[in-house]
Structure 1
């Protein structure tokens, strides 16, 4: 969700691609929050896309951007406080009181949605990069760890925070991540979702705003 630094290649040669990468990455997150949550019948959640102003003409841009956030989503998460050992806890709660089932189910749906929305960002950036090179994109051929090559470091780190709260079992964590990665891949493979991501990315590319608010994104989707 946070963009840390540019590639080591020439800043000037890669500037346009970099701007497009940022736009598709953040658009992916934002559209996920809007449409993926809606598909899962979750309530709307506020967010804003924040961009840090940069001097793209500076010769030392690569060094100056290290460890600094260029773009990020503020807000947008359905779960504000993680419950630890969710997998075991939900089984115990259900065995004690079946009336808790709706609450447990709602938490699980929100949990999955938050992680999917995190993964949609770097996947959208990856798809844009492939299409820009006139290559066919198939998310199933991408290793989850490779999302780090598409600005996904902080996205994966936050996803792992969720997964570590889900279960202490590493195998269960990996299985859950793979399940949600497939869901994120299917989301961007949907033509309507990709059209929405592309529409917002184009809006971001041509905007000089440092903040794009939730209301603007919704208005754009409805236009």
Structure 2
């Protein structure tokens, strides 16, 4: 009986650790959608976080794809600035032929801003999970240890697949795709390494874990992230004032 209790306790610990990882992953996506988009002066977009009881999902050990299992438990619903991708650059050109030059340039700039932000926000999710795991294990978190390929180890397979879909809808050259993905990965990494953003992600992940609800609505998420950011900025301002 004692042995069974020890095994059960160990299983519960493992389950909670896995739930934490998923919470940080989704909190990362959410922080990107709200804070990254806001920092880039992009319009707000509606989204929710779905986070089910893990008992409702298939067993972790029985899943062949960890990302599929995790998506059974949690996901961000909505949140993309570009919902329907244009099949190719040629199609974009066809859509713009009826517009004047200034309108075309503005449309392209707006489209590219949204296009890149969506990809960055996809990458922020697995990066947030990776940073959480690194900090929990007392390990370093940098580009050498966590690269694009490593995101597959942090529930990032579907995020990378969708990012690839985005890029192939706009670029036809593989080298261009790789270069753009590296550029956007660096932007996502820098977002995660920003202290204010990271504390906001921690705050939201903790809220998700402590909540008994399956759905965290957009208004709650935005409020938590903004309050965390305001609190951080006030702390910084107060610290500077004390040293003046």
Instruction: Indicate the structure with greater helix content.
Output: 2
Aligned counterparts of 1:79 and 1:155: Cα–Cα separation in 2: 15
Aligned counterparts of 2:80 and 2:106: Cα–Cα separation in 1: 20
Superposition pairs of residues 174-185 of structure 1, within 5 angstroms:
174-185=178-189
Larger radius of gyration: 2
Confirm or deny that 1:73 pairs with 2:72. no
How far has the Cα of 1:51 moved from its partner?
A: 1.7
Segments of structure 2 that go 5 or more residues without pairing to the other structure are 1-9, 228-244
Which structure has more relative contact order (CA 8 Å, sep 6+)? It is: 1
Aligned counterparts of 2:174 and 2:192: Cα–Cα separation in 1: 27
Confirm or deny that 1:84 pairs with 2:66. no
1:115 alignment counterpart:
119
Confirm or deny that 1:29 pairs with 2:29. yes
1:191 alignment counterpart:
195
> Using a 3 Å threshold, how does the CA distance of structure 1 residues 171 and 203 change in structure 2: closer, same or farther?
same
| TM-superposition CA deviations, 1:32-56 (whole Å, max 9, x none) | 0000000111111000001233328
Aligned counterparts of 1:61 and 1:176: Cα–Cα separation in 2: 34
Structure 1 stretches of 4+ moved >4 Å:
64-68, 87-90
Aligned counterparts of 2:225 and 2:173: Cα–Cα separation in 1: 40
2:235 alignment counterpart:
none
Aligned counterparts of 2:75 and 2:11: Cα–Cα separation in 1: 20
Aligned residue pairs, count? 210
Aligned counterparts of 2:64 and 2:215: Cα–Cα separation in 1: 19
The TM-score with structure 2 as length reference comes to 0.79
The TM-score with structure 1 as length reference comes to 0.86
How far has the Cα of 1:13 moved from its partner?
A: 4.4
How far has the Cα of 1:83 moved from its partner?
A: 1.7
2:211 alignment counterpart:
207
Provide the aligned C-alpha RMSD in A.
2.5
Q: Is the CA contact (8 Å cut-off) linking 2:36 and 2:121 kept in structure 1?
A: yes
| TM-superposition CA deviations, 1:127-172 (whole Å, max 9, x none) | 0000001112113532201101001011111111101101111111
Superposition pairs of residues 91-110 of structure 1, within 5 angstroms:
97-99=100-102, 100-110=104-114
How far has the Cα of 1:217 moved from its partner?
A: 0.6
SS for the counterpart of 1:141 is coil
| TM-superposition CA deviations, 1:46-80 (whole Å, max 9, x none) | 00001233328x9x553279644111011000001
1:170 to 167, 174, 182: 174
Aligned counterparts of 1:13 and 1:206: Cα–Cα separation in 2: 16
